[in-house]
Chain A
Amino acid sequence: MSAPSNAAVSDIVVIGAGVIGAATAYFAAREGLSVTVLDKGLPASGTSSACEGNILVSDKELGPELELTRYSLGVWHGDLAEHRHLWEFEAKGGIIVASRESSLASLHRVMAVQKGFGVAVEELDPDALRAAEPNISPDALGGAFYPEDCQVQPMLVAAHLVRLAVAAGARFHADTTVTGFLRSGERIAGVRTTRGEFSASSVVNCTGTWAGELAALAGVDVPVMPRRGFVMVTEPLPPMVHHKVYAAEYIDNVGSSDAGLQASPVVEGTPSGTILIGSTRERVGFDRTVSTDALRLLARNAVGLFPFLAAVKAIRHYHGFRPYCPDHLPVIGPDERAPGLWHAAGHEGAGIGLSVGTGKLLAQALAGREPDLDLTPFAPARFGTAPKDQSAPREEASA
């Protein structure tokens, strides 16, 4: 059977219409490149529709991820400012709450370090904390306010960026699953799909948690793995939670010499009145079995922060699979093991926030320009330079 070939050769085929693929397509189209976006489903049918929409500065450590976060914030506030209403962009700020003396001390230490590298943060004494969040637990001893933390509705981000990319000349094909790559000599020259072949000078793998599978089709190893997270949604309420609020207690676990904050359960109100309680982290592969332990943990954390929640009904929960790499950094850039293939995947629990910066930088690189931010720390080459040994089983790295 000869597969139909689809239209003219594009400069770029983007595989995946999650936030990352959508942002990449949008900025590439704006660079004047001809772009074709393919997804096995509709836009935002992967992890981008099973997450929360936090854009957090408060949980980042000093390093390349913080740089990318800052760059992305600039894009959200700058290039995309005119569209912010499309995706319910809200710069509501985040609050970390400490309920034990020891965690308050840790929080103060962390704040000092963060201030040192330029993160905007203000200390909240008990009165200021209660003024900001009147329904916070009576046990709360104090907190920190991060004015740069903001929020978007991620499904709308992906869908509108695809729409805007199409308006800028890109083509989008839904229900089109990539099953293999076309080659021209050693170069990747397009993709084979359930709806025919698509030729392109470059192919960008934006398939999130499935990026490893796609890379394997091209014979290269990109160790992206799933990390499951549950989120709980309450009945709609009048505004009771005004910021993104999360607990400082885990800072103790991280160790006092370590300034890094890991993501932790966030309680936040949404414009529609529901409260999102997120999110757990566990490595169980793609297991979709509902875990009562996860629900229990979310509920306990939430009630600890906001006791009124005990009497509030949960109406829904959902789960998604964060795409993560062993070193917890995304993979962004050309893959020298398979010339013509690029990746933008593995953003773990921060892909929404990082999407627009990723897309813009990648588009600059695809257009042959020097990207605004050095992409070397994210280079696929960090996983080795040889094409993949197909037979070697992959060890799951520990987080």
Chain B
Amino acid sequence: MSGIAARDVAVVGAGPAGLAAAVAAVEAGARVVVVDSAAQPGGQYWRHRPENVVAADGRGHHDWGVYLDLRARFDAARATGAIEYVPGRQVWMAQNDDGGFTLRTTPTVAPSVAPSASVAPPASVAPSDPAGAHPADVTAQRESVSTIRARRLVLCPGAYDRQLPVPGWDLPGVMAAGGIQAFIKANGALPGRRFVVAGTGPFLLPVAANIAEAGGMVAAVLESSSPVAWFPHLGAAAGVPEKALEGLGYAAVFARHRIPYRTRTVVTEVLGEDRTRAVRTARVDPGGRVVRGSERLLEDVDVVGFGWGFTPQLELPVSLGAETRVDADRSLVAVVDTRQESSIPGLFLAGEVTGVGGAALAVLEGRVAGASAAARASALSPAHASPQDRDQGEAPPSDALPPALSPADAARVARYRRFAQAMHRAHPVPDAWHEWLTPETTVCRCEEVTAGQIAEARDALGAADARSLKSFTRAGMGWCQGRVCGFAASCLGAGGGAHPSEASLAASAKRPLAAPVSIGELAALEPSTTTKGTPA
């Protein structure tokens, strides 16, 4: 088989969780390969401008010291070859085969950090290229990493902003709040001039702060919930002083830039002819119902950023059969044990895929996942890893594992998780959000499916879940495969403000291709040696 030699541990994602997992695994003695679709390490949280263009200085970032520490250890392990780093490639399929995992990858972007030298072209390829030209090296290198094998797998693919449709959200100028932040972090420039940031949750604050600090005008930050909602949860929230301080930090930024912060307020419509020009806002009651007469027009807005919490990227865990559950924020997340191991032996998960909880929690979970995966990989020889053995003997007892966390860190994990649950409860998706829509409102932007078509499919054809809505209306069948509209469609299928079922969320998280891949690449797959079944 071409592709790089089997490693002890493969890590997917080089954000807070993935970096921590890779470093922990390698420091526990494992040989590690890290695949990440971004051009350089950092993930969503520590996304920064291309390192080959400008040196990262950490401006606009939190916990930059944590990043620098992880990055230094990551780079040190790369230098010794203990970590093989494969940036700019996305895993489109993961397979759990005898004794380990196989990842199939496809190129996304040109890496801005050199990939590991150890995945350089094989000797037989290099001499045939007289000039030793760089592009050929890159091509050969990319081919050699299209298939990656490892005995244990740690998935840290993160999450993306959850979106809810409103009339006009398909206009240019409407972005995900995280998209605005990513744009600023990656380009050092603004995607517009005058912004409204709307939705719910504390993550709206750093986005607004980033815009203001990059020189943009924030016309308003609109939070559908209310600080009052925190009161019942203050016990949990106060357990995380960093969060309170962070809140204060934003308060200062908001005051300095005169950013209006309105609670119990939502955007009910985006207005404009061929691009965003204004938004209609409204006050809402705790259930999300618009307070009569509270609508206002906010003019001269060219970018609206929406964020309704996050949707964890579950396609890879789901495709491997990992057990899932619905979290307090109504997101589908994967179930893990205290070692961050999923219901699939040898498959570890960390970061937002196990429940949205922020970057600090992601780092701690990553450490546990990486160390546990390394312990598993070294405790079992490849021969021991066959499925039969897994069924019988299972892993070494957990006290044989190195303690990945100090008692203090374990307490921090518990505290962060409590905080996250409190946050989710304080910032729910308002039940009545569907009342802001008109029948003409586009719900699936890829396939241009409207709320009216969805209601009709639900009422006339009995399409009560995301799967049948997709079948009958095409919502979620387009380019993004329901990543944007999946949650909204599940809610609308349930109808009348009901919460979507786990089955409906799971149906919309099921994407057998975790990323688009060219037909040419599929045609070039190697035939498998163990063909099950009889072709007929």
Contacts and interface: CB of A to CB of B under 8 A. Distances in A.
Interface string A297-320: 011101100000111111111100
A290 interface: yes
B478 interface: yes
A300 B481 CA distance: 24
Contact of B536 (A49, A159, A162, A283): A283
A236 interface: yes
Nearest to B520: A310
B512 A287 contact: no
A81 B336 CA distance: 53
B116 interface: no
Interface in B495-535: 511-513, 516-520, 522-523, 525, 527-528, 531-535
B5 interface: no
A290 B512 contact: yes
Contacts of B184: none
A47 to B, nearest CB: 13
A299 B522 contact: yes
A299 B516 contact: no
Contact of A316 (B513, B525, B533): B513
A155 interface: yes
Nearest to B523: A299
A161 to B, nearest CB: 10
A43 B536 contact: no
Given A42-B465, A290-B319, A309 B519 contact: yes
B72 interface: no
Contact of B447 (A42, A272, A291, A298): A272
Contacts of B478: 236, 272, 315
Given A163-B461, A300-B523, A316-B481, A282 B513 contact: no
A234 interface: yes
User: Which of A163, A315, A316: most chain B CB closer than 10 A?
Assistant: A315
Given A42-B468, A159-B472, A303 B535 contact: no
A299 B520 contact: yes
B536 A155 contact: no
Task: Please report whether the interface of chain A is mostly helix, strand, loop or mixed according to DSSP.
Answer: mixed
B512 A311 contact: no
A296 B536 contact: no
A333 B516 CA distance: 45
A42 B466 CA distance: 12
Contacts of B375: none
A283 B516 contact: no
A282 B535 CA distance: 5
B423 interface: no
B492 to A, nearest CB: 15
B318 to A, nearest CB: 12
Nearest to B93: A290
A90 B95 CA distance: 38
Contact of A310 (B95, B467, B518): B518
B460 interface: yes
Nearest to B513: A316
A295 B106 CA distance: 15
A281 interface: yes
Contacts of A244: none
Nearest to A233: B477
Given A44-B468, A227-B536, A314 B516 contact: yes
B464 interface: yes
A292 B527 CA distance: 8
A311 B516 CA distance: 11
B463 interface: yes
Nearest to B96: A289
Contacts of A44: 468, 471
Interface string B4-40: 0000000000000000000000000000000000000
B152 interface: no
B528 A292 contact: yes
B519 A302 contact: yes
Interface string B306-343: 00000000000001000000000000000000000000
Contacts of B472: 155-156, 159
Contact of B95 (A160, A232, A290): A290
A356 B159 CA distance: 45
Interface string A148-164: 00000001100110110
A7 interface: no
A291 B516 CA distance: 17
A237 to B, nearest CB: 11
Contacts of A399: 536
Nearest to A301: B523
B462 interface: yes
Contacts of B467: 45, 49
A160 B104 CA distance: 39
Nearest to A39: B462
Given A299-B522, A310-B519, A314-B522, A160 B461 contact: yes
B533 A287 contact: yes
A232 B520 CA distance: 13
Contact of B462 (A42, A236, A310, A313): A42
B513 A293 contact: no
A398 B447 CA distance: 42
A302 B535 CA distance: 18
Contacts of A172: 462
A283 B532 CA distance: 9
Nearest to A309: B519
A312 B536 contact: no
B532 A284 contact: yes
Contact of B463 (A159, A281, A310, A317): A159
Contacts of B520: 299, 303, 309-311
A317 B512 contact: yes
A62 B447 CA distance: 41
Given A303-B519, A309-B519, 19 more contacts: A155-B471, A156-B472, A159-B468, A162-B462, A172-B462, A282-B534, A283-B534, A287-B532, A290-B512, A291-B528, A293-B531, A296-B522, A299-B525, A303-B520, A310-B523, A311-B520, A313-B517, A313-B518, A398-B536
The 10 closest A-B pairs by CB, nearest first: A284-B533, A310-B520, A299-B522, A155-B471, A313-B516, A299-B523, A159-B461, A296-B525, A399-B536, A300-B523
25 contacts: A42-B465, A43-B461, A155-B468, A162-B461, A163-B460, A236-B479, A282-B533, A282-B534, A282-B536, A284-B533, A284-B534, A290-B95, A290-B512, A292-B95, A292-B104, A296-B525, A298-B522, A309-B520, A310-B523, A311-B520, A314-B516, A314-B517, A315-B478, A316-B481, A399-B536
Interface of B: 93, 95, 104, 319, 446-447, 457, 460-465, 467-468, 471-472, 474, 477-479, 481, 511-513, 516-520, 522-523, 525, 527-528, 531-536
